[in-house]
A and B are shown apart, each in its own frame.
Chain A
Amino acid sequence: MAELKKPPMGSLQMDSDKVDQLIEIATLSPADFAPSTEEEKEHFIQPQKSIGYWQDAWRRLKKNRVSMVALGILILIMLFAFVGPMVLPYKYDQQIRTSLNLAPMQYSEAEQTARAAGESVFPHIFGTDTHGRDILARTMMGTRVSMSIGVMAALLVLVIGSIYGSISGYFGGMVDNIMMRIVEVIYSVPEVLVVLLLSISLRPWLENFLNTNTNSAFAQPIRVLGSSIIAIFISFALLYWVTMARIIRGQVLQLKEQEYVTAARALGASSGRIIKKHLLPNCIGSMIAATCLQIPSAIFLESFLSFLGVGVQAPLTSLGSMCSDALGGMYTYTYRLIIPAIILGIMLLSFNLFGDGLRDALDPRLKK
């Protein structure tokens, strides 16, 4: 009889004893819902810990020795630029009339007499310039200015580029077509010329603005930053976001086909919410890497402008304008040129190498 109950091969009907087993499983007693004992828990521990995206990226980054060295150097430079001026007794714009044109580690006569009298005088490690300003303090300040401009300009590019790129990629079709044509036009504009033009024509305009609207809400930041830095930011906002927009657009084009976007749309999420909550957080890896590679290009541009004399204005200084100032007496005071030039070179190199490593770590698919 039992054999008769067995359905023929390939039948969709279930084995009757299997059905019994299933029913047995489905009838659960309250004891089955009791919390597991410690012993049971121990058996359940996964053999390997799961690793999140950031941990994974950090692990990959740590393996890249060049990037880690670059990161170390960047941290040192940051300490130099942001902590250094607090420790140093000299200010970057403080002119010491008695100690003009000192060589590195040299003391002026006034300082020598003070030292002879038993006072401790902090040495001018890099010497002083023609106005008696301590070059170490100026280098620190210049590094700080260059670095801050680089980071802020890169963040500006990030914001504009990711908004533009995600809108263009998400809506696609005609919108994408028009927006990408605009990007192509901006792409073919020779940016150095326009940036030079911007930085010279904005300065008098901003100064005029400052003089007429002294109490305006915009006047304060402009006065603090100086018009030339604002001009650099404006040129970045106008011209340099196109690469970022292209990267984000490419990512969004891929991501928007994913199921979770369809699911979100089916649940009635608006386009803005999908972009904000679903698409952009998923491009974060390439966003960070591209921003990090944007920083050296911003520092590069700032020092280029300052070197040509249209960047950061005195008394504020930057590494580029220090090099430019030193060019006059470069044979007598070579170190004044070499010191900022080397710091700038190391900083740019480290940012580039670290950015490359970060890109490989955060976005392993891009690695070639």
Chain B
Amino acid sequence: MIKYIIKRVVMGLVALFVVSILTFFLMNLVPGGPFMSEKPPSPAVQAMMEEKYGLNKPLTEQYVTWLTDLLKGDFGVSYRMQKNRPVLTIIKEMFPTSAKVGAIAMGWAIVAGIALGCVAAYKRGKLTDSILRVVTTSGVALPTFVTASILLVVFAGGVWNILPSIVGTSSSWKAYILPCFTLGLNPMCNIARYTRSAMLDSLGQDYIRTAYAKGLATPFIIFKHALRNALIPVVSYVGPLIAGILSGGFVVETVFNVPGLGRYFVQSINNRDYPIIMGTTIFLSAFVIAMNLIVDILYRVIDPRIDLSKGVE
């Protein structure tokens, strides 16, 4: 167990290191430097700026400086969007909103996905199962921005005007319905599909027949005996789910104007505010990698049948 955790932590750190190298050197591919604007500064001013930010040193030295600053918790300052504000402060300000929307979306996706998966497995081959299969397959295939824009048209102006289309800082809970629903839709469909096949697997096991033979009530068998064992493979999906919520977050926050980190990241891309792009990339990568690690370890704690000394398959 300990060996496994150490291995995964090292792996995660290596991945993060790769991301940081990629990020840094990709940023430096960009010609012109970060101080280019409509009227370029005079060479003297530019030299001074470069001196100030250490941009006149060789790339590898710059990378080492950047990395040591990063390890000390210094993400640099914004060049453009919020001039000279530390990137870390901006992230701290923006991330809670994203996390809130993401957590609600994940919550409903897990609850509804498992419930629908159980229903589909129990009604296997019936009309309910077919309808659910059509819904979940389309939900998995459709990109988030397609569902987001269709929902926006239907519920926020086009057909009915019952929900607000944008989320402000002081919006009521109603404003969060559409973004959270959209963000959770794709993961929900995925979870429902996973749950269905896992439930079918576990409903065919001998202990289920034993439970029926003992005369237990059907709901009891489904929820206590079948679902508990079916949930184990579903848990392994939660790791990729977090990454999916993240990439969906960029789109959902852009479409619904949620003042979160995802939308800010997209804006910083369009504004070419490199320190923010770099800082956010590193921060979100670390977040996703850490979450994946925690989920994988938990998965192995939940299911003792998995041999920890063997690698991840």
**A contacts, CB < 8 Å to B:** 180-181, 184-186, 188-190, 192-194, 196-198, 200-202, 204-205, 208, 296, 300, 303-304, 307-310, 320, 323-324, 327, 330-331, 334, 337-338, 341-342, 344-345, 348-349, 352-353, 368
Contact A190–B289 (Cβ < 8 Å) = yes
> Is B243 interfacial (CB 8 A cutoff)?
yes
Q: B27 contacts A185, CB within 8 Å?
A: no
- With A198-B26, A201-B29 known as contacts, the answer to whether A192 contacts B12 (CB < 8 A) is no
List residues of chain B with CB within 8 A of the CB of A307: 143, 145, 251
Q: Which of B42-50, B58-66, B151-159 is the interface stretch? A: B151-159
Q: List 29 A-B contacts (CB under 8 A).
A: A181-B11, A184-B312, A185-B14, A185-B18, A186-B18, A188-B292, A189-B18, A190-B19, A190-B285, A192-B243, A193-B19, A193-B281, A200-B272, A201-B26, A204-B30, A204-B31, A303-B143, A304-B251, A307-B145, A307-B251, A324-B145, A334-B153, A337-B149, A342-B146, A345-B143, A349-B137, A349-B138, A352-B141, A368-B197
Contact of B149 among A194, A205, A208, A330 (CB under 8 A): A330
Measured between beta carbons, the chain A residues less than 8 angstroms from B15 are: 185-186, 188-189
B32 engages A204 (CB within 8 Å)? yes
Top 9 closest pairs, chain A to chain B, by CB = A192-B247, A201-B26, A349-B141, A188-B15, A341-B146, A205-B29, A190-B288, A348-B141, A307-B145
B153 — nearest CB in chain A belongs to which residue?
A334
Q: A327 contacts B255, CB within 8 Å?
A: yes
Interface of B is mostly: helix
> At the interface, yes or no: B97 with Cβ under 8 Å from chain A?
no
Interface of A, secondary structure class, is helix
The answer to whether B137 touches A337 (Cβ under 8 A) is: no
Could you say which residues of chain A place their CB within 8 Å of the CB of B270?
309-310
Structural contact, B11 and A197, CB atoms closer than 8 A: no
With A194-B19, A345-B146, A352-B141 already in contact, the answer to whether A330 and B153 are too (CB < 8 A) is yes
- Nearest to A331 among chain B residues (CB) is B157
Check B153 against A190 for contact (C-beta < 8 Å): no
- Which residues from chain A contact B285 at a C-beta distance below 8 Å? 189-190, 193
Is the C-beta of B99 less than 8 angstroms from some C-beta in chain A?
Answer: no
Interface pair A208/B284, CB less than 8 Å apart: no
> CB-CB < 8 A to B236: which residues of A?
none
B111 lies within 8 A of chain A by Cβ: no
Determine whether the beta carbon of A304 is less than 8 Å from that of B247: yes
A193 to B243, CA, bound (A): 10
Smallest Cβ-Cβ distance to B31: which chain A residue: A208
Cβ-closest chain B residue relative to A188:
B15
Docked-complex contact B18 and A197, CB < 8 angstroms: no
Q: How large is the interface on B (under 10, 10 to 19, 20 to 34, 35 or more residues)?
A: 35 or more
Determine if B11 and A188 form an interchain contact, defined as CB atoms under 8 angstroms apart: yes
* Residue of chain B at shortest CB distance from A341: B146
A4 to B153, CA, bound (A): 102
10 more CB-based (< 8 A) A-B contacts, given A180-B311, A205-B29, A323-B149: A184-B11, A185-B15, A190-B289, A194-B23, A194-B281, A197-B281, A208-B31, A304-B143, A309-B270, A310-B269
Docked pose: A349 CA to B135 CA in angstroms: 11
B82 to chain A, nearest CB (A): 19
Residues of chain B in range 56-101 having any CB-CB distance to chain A below 8 Å = none
Judge if B246 is at the interface, Cβ distance under 8 Å: yes
Residue of A nearest to B249 (CB): A192
Q: Quick one: CB contact mask for B244-272 with A, threshold 8 Å, 1 for yes?
A: 00110011001100000000011001101
A188 CA / B12 CA spacing, docked (Å): 7
Question: Which of A185, A296, A330 is the one whose CB lies under 8 Å from B11?
Answer: A185
| Complex alpha-carbon distance, A198 and B269, angstroms | 11
- B251, A341: Cβ atoms closer than 8 Å: no
Decide: A197 and B22 in contact? CB cutoff 8 A: yes
In whole angstroms, what is the CA distance A238 to B270 when docked? 23
Please indicate which of the listed interface residues B11, B247, B266 has the most CB atoms of chain A within 10 Å of its own CB.
B247
Q: Which of B146, B158, B269, B281 contacts A308 (CB 8 A)?
A: B269
Give min CB distance, B5 to chain A, whole Å.
15
Instruction: Write out the residue numbers on chain A whose beta carbons fall within 8 Å of the beta carbon of B302.
Output: none
B177 at the interface (CB under 8 A from A): no
Knowing A185-B18, A192-B246, the reply to whether A345 touches B140 (Cβ < 8 A) is: no
